[in-house]
Each structure stands twice: as C-alpha cells, then as structure tokens.
Structure 1
C-alpha cells in the first residue's frame, strides 16, 4: 500500500447510466407510471447499489421509496428478509396501506408463521405495499442473500406486479389505487434464483472507458495523469468497485504521474478488498476447483477453458469429481468459465504461490498435444527462476503462424518469454512481439507501455525499428498523428538496412499520418523518390546504411498511385491503383485489403471499395484481430457513404465506433463519429423514442479528438456534417458561414481530400443565403475534381452548382435538366432528390407551379426513400407553399409533432420549465429534455422564444393544438 488519496465520496460514487441512459430512463418512467417489477444484476462490484440509489433519487418527486438491503448473517433465518422489508414499510409510514397490519394477521414488521404458503405471504406483501394513491418504489438489494421463504414470497409478489404492470387493479382484491414499482438486485456471479426467473432483467454493463475515467476524477482529490487514468481504467475492466480500490491504493504522487505505478497495478490485497467478501465460506474442494478454473482461464483473460482438461487436472491434484459444477461455474458444450472473471482474478491473486504453481503444473500435464502453447504457458507459471530454454520454446511457438492461437494468447506467451529471459536484448525482442500482439488484440495502451520498456533498454537497430513501427501504429490509432509520423519515419530509417519490406510499410504509414493531418506537401515528400530532400520529421543523426534489394510489389504501386493523386496527375494514378485492386482479388492480408479499399476510393470505384472493406473485415474477424475490425468498418462506412447508402454507412460506423472504443482507438472512433455526423445530417434527429444522437453531437465528439490529435480529415468531415445539418433544416446562412472557411482558398481551408466533397453544399448554401458570388471561385476547382472521375456524384453536382449560380433563367433551366440526366448514372436517391428540390424551388419562384409540383413531389419521394427526414420536411413545406399537401394532413408546422411533443411544446411556450413540465406530465426531466430536443429539430427552431412565437402564430391562425 502506498497511501490513500480518495475523498469520502469514493465510498458511494454516483451511478452513470452511460450509453443506455435513455433505456434506463424509460424503465424508471414505466415503474413510476405503470408499476411492475424488474431484476437488476451484474458483476460483483458492478454498481447495483449505486444504481438502486440512482433509481430511488429519480423517484423521489413521484412518491415514497423503500430501500432494503439484505443481511447475509441472517440468511438462514426463515422470513428474516421479509421481516426486514415489513419493518421498512412501517418506517416509511403513511404510505396508504403500507401502514396497515399485514394480511397474515400479525402486526406490521413481523414475519408470518413458519411453513406459510409463499403465495399467501406474497399476496399479503402486495397488500402491505399497495399505496392508496400515487407511486411507491421498493428497492431490495442483494435479494439472493435472503432466506428461501422470503425469496419465494418476494418472487411471487414480483411476478404479480410484473404481470399487472400498467393495470393496478389486476394486483389483487383490496389493493389501493396507487402503483408499486419493485427493483430486485441480485448478484451476477451465480445463476438467478428460480423465484425470480420470470422477471425482466437489467444487467448492468461495465463502465465505458469515458465513464470510468469520469468516476476516477470524481473520487480522487488530485488531478490524475492521463496515462495513469488510462492504466487504471484498463486494469479495472469497467468495474467501479475495483476502480475505487485501485484509486485508494495509489499515492497522490502516483496519481499525478510523478512516481511509477506499482506492478501489478491490482495486487492480491486490492482484489481481495474489492471482491473477497464474495469468496468467503467456500468449501475447500470448491475453492481448489475454482482456483483451477481461474488458473486454466488465465491465459485467455478469464474467458472459457476446456472442461476435460480441468477434470484431468483436478484428478491429478487429488480432488474428487466436482460434478455437478458449483453455481459460480458456467459449464456448457464441454467448456468452463467462471461466471465472474473478476472473482477469478481475486481468488487466483489471493492463493498461496506454491498452490498456484501446483495447479499450473497439473494443468500443463493435462492438456492435449495440440494445446502446446497453453501447456508451455502453464509450465512457465510453475517456474520461479529464469529458464532460457522455456523462453525460447514460448517465443518460437507463439511466433509460429501455423499455431492456432488468438493475439491475446500470443501476447501472454511473449510476455512470459521476456520474464524468463536473462538477456536484455531478448527481453526487448519479446516485449516488441508482445506489443505487436497487443495491438492486434486491441490493447493499445498496453502496447505503448510495452514499447516504452523497449526504449528503456539497449536493443539492436532492427528491434528498435520494429518497436518504433508499432509505436507509430498505436499513435496513429490513438494519439497525435504528427507524433505517429515521426515514429514511422524513424522506424523506416532503422529498418532500411536489414528489412526493406518493413521499412517500406513504415514509409507508407508515415504518409498515412501526414494524410490524416492534412499535410499534403509532407505526404508527397514522404512518398518522394530516393535522394530527394529529407523530410523534417526524419531523425538525421542515424546512419543511412546500404539499402538491401527490394522487389516491387502492390505497396509500391500504391505509393506511385498516391503520388500521382497528390500531384493531380489523375491519368497517371489510375494504372498503378488498378494494379493494387487486381492484387487484392486473391490477397488475404488485411493491410493489403485496406490499401485496396483506399485505392478504390481514390479511383471512385465504390463497389470495389466495398468489396475490399468487407473482405478485410472478414479476414480480421477470422484472425481474431480486434484492432483491425474498426479500421475495416471505417473503409466500409466511407465506401457506403460515397455510394449514397447512408443507412448502411451508419450501421457500419455504429459498429466500428463500438469496436474502436472497446479497443482504445480514439482516432479511429473520431472517424466513425464523423461518418455518423454525416449520416445524421441526412437522416436528421433520431425519431421519437429513439436513442441516437444528432449530427451536431456526433460532430462535436469527432472534433474533440480531431483537435487534440491533429486529425484534419476527421475534423473537416465533422464540420461539413454540421453545416449540412444546418442546410437540411433550412438554415443556409449558418451553413454558408461554416463551409466558407472549409472550401475557400486560404490557410484555414479544410483537408485537401475532403473540402472538394463539401463544395456542392457550400454553393447551395451561398446561393440560398443570397450570396452566390461568394461561391463562384470554388466551382472552377470543383470542375477539375469532377473531371478526374474519383467521385461518381460530382458531374451531376457540378451541373447543379452551375444552375444555382446561373444568371440567365434559360441557362439555369437547362443545367438543372442536365444535372437530373447525369444523376441517372448512379443510384443515389438522396443526391437526385436534392437536385429535384432545388429545381422545384426555382420553378415555384418563377410561378411554373405544375412543373414545380412534379419536381417537389419527386424530391419528397427520393428523400423518403433515403430516410432523409429533414430534407423530406423541406420538400413537403415547398409542396404546401405550392398549394399541395404531401400526405393530405393539415399543413400547419405543428402537425409534424407527436401528441406528447405537442403537449410539451405548448407548456414550454407558456413559460414552464422542463422540471415543471415533467411534474405535470408525470415523466422525468430527462424525458422532457429528450422530447424538447426533438421538437426543436422537427420545427427548425433554436430557442424557447422561437418556439413560443411559432405556437402563438399557430393559435392565431386557428391551428388545432
């Protein structure tokens, strides 16, 4: 122990709903307005008590709350749990029937006679709980520790409440007129008791990294160093109890990063403090069995293991056959796992070292021949001294591609080889290989820590070069991209003498970093021919050394094609990039497939980009490479965007964002957030009852990382998305202001590969805002882009831009028609509908109403087909202004709101606060916030003043509210 630094708040941290906040709010709303019962479960230390506190606080405005926590010392006393609940009911006092004697005839707070029917006691409990009016919330924590008769009665009452949710009169005769909500908390490291199996279950997920970091900041009294925060968050695996225990272990200097963290970060004392209480009272045989399972799953990070091998090891240890398995072990299809991996970690850490080594020796002898790597690992854990022979065997087996093993297992093997090696160069080599597998497995922070250890010790140039290549890879995914570029260029210089193929990969990766940073000149310089001026990021104090022969391959073609693209020699770029595509037709390496997807996007061949991205994703999943999945999904999402398949792009980006967050790739996550912002700028705000985010929210998230890490490409995409969202809501002036900086020449112009894509939006916004002259200069540049063939939509968009800027009506008319003809060359409903909408507006303003109605109707259908809700509303509004209704409904602005949204809008317009609205409608303030955001988005207003004005105008016009 090195000192305690946490405040008193650490003992009871606040619950964080995380990404499921809307679902949890909806659940608590239902319990408040309809009653019912819900089971709450999760890992030990996973926040069940904090969640019940959160639920109780959220219910306080609606009615009384009764909290009961189980007493493990009374688990064998019949009806002890039920008595505790009855006493809590009496203490609540005045809650309608809750203060009456119980239905079994005894005074309140006493238990029924032993042997009573659970159904009778359950019905009596219902009667005792039922309030005369309003809403009562009952929270029972650790109900799995209740005695069996109490569990049976509570289970019966919960089942009745669940069946009668929304219909209080079904609870039973004599019930009051109020509603009862029941939350039952049970442990997640054992099966749910049969008394509760029919209830709906809310399983509390581990904290997301951002929520875990926020909790750490909440409970510590000093600023936490970002690297320390990341290390603690990773070690805690999203478990609040372990995170708090880790924070208590560290001194203030360690939290600030001024002193190194202890190794291991979570020692036996810390794990026991967090979870030891769940392991007390185990039978000795069960303890030995659980230790064996925990040791067997250690190599897989606490996941499953082979049941037959465990049984053979148990026999070698002289234990009896453990079947039937204890309830803390999940056995299925010949595999075993502990229901709580964290409990397994605690049990393993607390076991005496010799007992652990004995278990590992038994496991090593019990594994079949095809599990040689696992057997070697168990041998290594049974060894106490350096063993060069065993280290060499681990390295050779873990490096053999023919061995079927996931990256995490290979990483563990290389780490054990390092621990068993006495030679510092061999340790550096093993740590580098372990870092490589950590990156493949999605453990970015762990990889960087291992690479730091390589820098701290002497190592050959080849090992240092490989380590810098891996460091650059880690930084490109989660760090400043200029730092990644420097690492890649240093790696290329170190690797060139002995490993030119890997050096070429490092050079291309440095170009990727320059591309991500928006440095076109630097990217071109990196891709330059041999002998050109050195890049300023290269470490010039290293000897160049003779270059070994290097046979040209697909990466050389990619490099040549990229140079030609950057030099605007598109005709010379096509041939080498096509060769990259041809090579990938039979490739099974993810890097080549991702390069192929990038080459296809540069060529404008979105079908080939989708194929290459899909194959890269399939290969990544086959290899078990968690880190490559979000990158493959990124290329897939971009390809779908370019193809006009926005819903598919959103699906890929949502999945990619989850994987990027899970694997610690914030830069990749920013790109997925930018894609989601772009799709949301088309689809609009989430539908009533949804849990999505708006374009602005996604754009803000992408920009937050883009600004920290220098991601010019992701940042430009996000800003474009926010501007397009403004345009979709009919705010061309705001859109033009945002986009002007991105697309007009100057130092603040957006990323060189993205700003061209935003030009059509800017031209449209400038023209609709009444400043077409501002956009004329960029159209000529866009014409060059449209001519290169890299964007299938660009030719039609160029004609649309020229139509918007045309001074002569006949010219504009002809250009719009030509644009619609060019849209026939691709299948994007959305882009064609935008041209139809602009043409329809142009026709309506020239009183060509019949033609305008035809174009606007086609635009409405196109937007509806592509799910572009705000754009469809624009088309419908134009139709109404043209004298036609899109669907026969009233044409008032407020008709697009749902009944609940209309009620909220009316009260807000009258000056009510969100809290006052929530109280009057018996919903949460969070629900009002959510609906009000949707009202603003649906009506295109930005403030309560605008909303009040719109409601007032509707009332004056006689619209029905």
Structure 2
C-alpha cells in the first residue's frame, strides 16, 4: 500500500560533506516531508541535490530519491517517474549495462538466478522496481522488488529495512513486509532514531491490515500515532489516522471511523497527501458498507475508482476496487462496477498482488448470471484458501451465502454464512459479523403474530418502501417508482430498519412476507 522507502535516507549516517547551503536545504526538505506540504519537500530535496552534487554525489543521489518519494506521497506519478528515469543508479550495473526497465539494450545477467556474478545494489533495485510499477510494467518490477524485500541480511540499519518493508507491500508479500518492518522498528529504537519509528510502525500496520489482522494493525497504528505526535511528524500522524480509520471500519465503530477520517483528511488536504486521503475515503466507504449502506459507500468510492482527475492515489485505489464493486452491485448499480472490474482484471493479471485473484473472482461473481456465479464464488474461496486472509475470505463467504439464500438453497447458504461468521469473529470484524448473524437469524427471526404489529408502526411512505424492498427492488428502482432521490430512499430505509429492529434487506423481506401471510390467513 505504501512505496515509501527513501525518505530521510540522505540524513542517515554520516553528515553530508556538501556546502552549508546544501545541508540546510536537505534539513529543510526532511522537515517538510515529515511535517509540511510534500510538494514543497520534493522541491527542497531537488535543491539540496543540486547543491550537494559537486562535493557529495552519494548524498545528492539520496536526496533525488527522497524527492521521488515525496512526489509518490503527493500522488504525482509523472514527477516521480521523471526523477527515477533521469537519475542513473549508483552501481556500475546501471551504467555498464543498459537499465533493464528501459528496454534499450540487453540487461546485465541476474545474479539471483545464477546467471552472473555482479552483486545487485538494493537501492538500484528499489529504484528500478518502483520505476517499473509506475510504468505499469509489473513483469519487470517483480524481480528487483523481490530482491529488495528479501535483502534484509544481518543489517540492523533502519533505512534498508524500511525499503525492504515497502517493497514487500508493493509485491503483496506481507510476510516479508512484516518481518522487515519489525526489524526496522527494532533497529530504529536500538539506535535511538526515534524519528523513523512512525514509518516502521506504518509499514507494520499496513501489512497487518492487508493480512486481515486488524487488532494488530490497530495496535501498531496507535503506537505510530503516538510516536508521530511525539516527534512532530503530522504527515505520519495522518497516515496512522487513516490506518486506524480502516481498522475501525471493520470493527464497527462509526464515530471512531469519522474521527480518524476527519483527522487524516485535515492534514492530507493541507499538505497534499494523496495517498493518505485515498485511504481515509476508502475507510469511510467501507464503514458505510459494513453498516448496510451500499449507496453511501458507492458514492464515496466512485470518484476514486473512475478515471479522471479525482481518481485516488495510484498505489492505493486499485485495492479499493473490490469494495466499490460490492457496494455498487448491492446499491443496484452494476453498470457502474463493470469498467472497474475490467481494469481490476488487468491489474490481477500482472501478479503484483497475490490476493487480487480471489477478489477478482468475487467481483465477477457479483456481476455474473446465475449459471456462472456459483462457480466463480467457489473459485474465489479456493483462491482465498491459497493466499490467506480471514476478512476477505469471510466477505466472499457472506456474499456467497446471501446468493444461495436468494435461491432457496438454505442448507448450503447456512454453511457458507456460518463459515463467514467464524472468519469475521476471528479477525474482530464485529460490524460484518453482525451482518452475518442477521442473515442467519432471518429464518423465522420474527414470529408471524408479531409481524403485522411491527409493520403498523411504519409511516405510509416507509411501508411502501418496505414492500418494494420485499419485492426485490433496488434503492434506485424504488426511487424511480416513487419519484424521489435514492438518498431519500436510503434515509427512509434506515428508519424502517430502526423501527422494525431488522438489520438487512433479507430480514426485512422476511418480515414483510410473514406480515402479508398473517393478514391473509389471520
């Protein structure tokens, strides 16, 4: 989720030997990267690089990489790519042989494969891997990023370990990301490099979050937030607020989600943190989806997913596509989801994220005709079994169980829903577990005698909406039939849920059906 691994590298270790103006510009750039507009930080790093280059080319190269990192954080892919293209690697591998990402000649033999003897340089590999990601050449990104992710060795220096953690996250190699992040945190604390703690904790929190370990992610993000505040790093504090919002969106704490989203977006807007903003909006949307408000979730995610100037950060928005597809389909807007699924399929084919295959099959099942959906859900669950992740597997099982219930395949549905409930409970996803319990309770959850009395408490408009929901209409279809907006329907439907004490459309439909039967046969 995060590709940052170079920021502050120029300040690590020995003091750069360049001009006093260069050292001053570098110190200012590091401060801005941690607690200021990241666009300004990018410019300051480049100024520092030009001032340091005559006397300390090593520090100058590190400053250029830090400038690229700041552009990445800002979501400025063009500037980031230009910097990575225009500044050559440090090692002889990048000058004696053409850059393998350029495609302008024959690449040097890959020492990892045993076809050569030159030792790869982790910083060069990191630069080449990130560059290939930005060029959408994931086939060329995998090998260098994999070398970086596993190049931890016996080094106890925080910066190389942070690069390894970032590479692991980009590859979806969460085990490598967690290992490198934990070692980076230990190294930073051992060396008294307290300013690096928030970044190490951020990588750990992201890795745990993507693995479905939400309680651990929350713990790391809380520690990271405290460390960021203690060292005056508002940009990292905002990142941790976004992670905490994502964790809370799963655990069913809407007020906490809102508080963390607001805190993250306040700094993100002031300092141009595109990645943080995308994560925060995703958290708000997922919280809405967890509370049974797919229309709100789809509206929140649509600008981030669709092409155009409002699209989310290039390293994050694709991770939110499965959430958008689910929300759009549940909101009765499958046409909105189809282009996103097609793009997600191209992303999955690149192999950059091992979890994408299962999520793609789930998205396709949501949009598929009945005769194809069953096989796609089964395929998705099989892929989840291969890659792990309790939360995502449970979400697939929940959707599959709902699909089976609608087709009266009740025994199969109960098995899938029970498995979903176990998965949600295991990873602390309380709001989603409650959705699943509501599905399981829908069988006779309300007695026939109680149903008519409950329905009489609804207003005429609420009753009309309840009956249309029972008929299987989407919010959009209901809005069109009643000549109101979909938001009005959503508002009334929430009140219907509250009055009747139900938590899902399935449970509401069951209650209405029981009420109609009782009225016909008192």
Name the counterpart of 1:657: 225
Question: How does 1:469-868 map onto structure 2 within 5 Å?
Answer: 469-530=26-87, 553-685=121-253, 694-806=256-368, 808-868=369-429
Q: 1:810 to 1:502 in 2, by over 3 A?
A: same
> Within 2, Cα distance between the matches of 1:871 and 1:552?
46
TM-score (structure 1 length as normaliser)? 0.42
> Within 2, Cα distance between the matches of 1:493 and 1:741?
38
Q: 1:858 to 1:809 in 2, by over 3 A?
A: same
Aligned partners of 2:149 and 2:177 also within 8 Å:
no
Any idea what the Cα deviations from partners look like across 1:512-549, whole Å, max 9, x if unmatched?
11111111111101111349xxxxxxxxxxxxxxxxxx
> Within 2, Cα distance between the matches of 1:730 and 1:643?
24
SS of 2:428's equivalent? coil
TM-score (structure 2 length as normaliser)? 0.76
Aligned partners of 1:601 and 1:790 also within 8 Å:
no
Question: 1:810 deviation in Å?
Answer: 1.4
Name the counterpart of 1:371: none
Any idea what the Cα deviations from partners look like across 1:762-816, whole Å, max 9, x if unmatched?
000011011101110011211122223332221100000000011x211011101
Any idea what the Cα deviations from partners look like across 1:470-492, whole Å, max 9, x if unmatched?
21111111100000000011111
Question: 1:498 deviation in Å?
Answer: 1.6
> Within 2, Cα distance between the matches of 1:843 and 1:947?
23
Aligned partners of 1:853 and 1:884 also within 8 Å:
no
Question: 1:593 deviation in Å?
Answer: 1.0
Any idea what the Cα deviations from partners look like across 1:93-136, whole Å, max 9, x if unmatched?
xxxxxxxxxxxxxxxxxxxxxxxxxxxxxxxxxxxxxxxxxxxx
Question: 1:948 deviation in Å?
Answer: 7.1
Structure 2 unmatched runs, 5+: 1-7, 89-118, 452-489, 509-513, 516-522
Aligned partners of 1:716 and 1:742 also within 8 Å:
yes
Match of 1:466 among 12, 23, 43: 23
Name the counterpart of 2:520: none
> Within 2, Cα distance between the matches of 1:652 and 1:461?
37
Q: 1:596 to 1:786 in 2, by over 3 A?
A: same
Q: 1:722 to 1:942 in 2, by over 3 A?
A: farther
> Within 2, Cα distance between the matches of 1:948 and 1:504?
60
Which protein has greater RCO, CA pairs closer than 8 Å, 6+ apart?
2
Q: 1:620 to 1:465 in 2, by over 3 A?
A: same
Number of equivalenced pairs: 423
Question: 1:565 deviation in Å?
Answer: 1.0
> Within 2, Cα distance between the matches of 1:575 and 1:813?
36
Aligned partners of 2:172 and 2:355 also within 8 Å:
no
Name the counterpart of 2:485: none
> Within 2, Cα distance between the matches of 1:749 and 1:941?
28
> Within 2, Cα distance between the matches of 1:701 and 1:716?
13
Q: 1:951 to 1:873 in 2, by over 3 A?
A: closer
Aligned partners of 1:642 and 1:791 also within 8 Å:
no
Question: 1:949 deviation in Å?
Answer: 3.6
Question: How does 1:266-277 map onto structure 2 within 5 Å?
Answer: none
Bigger Cα Rg: 1
Question: 1:867 deviation in Å?
Answer: 0.8
Tell me which protein shows more helix as a share of its residues: 2
> Within 2, Cα distance between the matches of 1:945 and 1:786?
40
Aligned partners of 1:706 and 1:715 also within 8 Å:
yes
Aligned partners of 1:820 and 1:836 also within 8 Å:
yes
> Within 2, Cα distance between the matches of 1:516 and 1:715?
10
> Within 1, Cα distance between the matches of 2:366 and 2:193?
48
> Within 2, Cα distance between the matches of 1:467 and 1:859?
55
SS of 2:194's equivalent? coil
Question: 1:823 deviation in Å?
Answer: 0.7
> Within 2, Cα distance between the matches of 1:723 and 1:701?
16
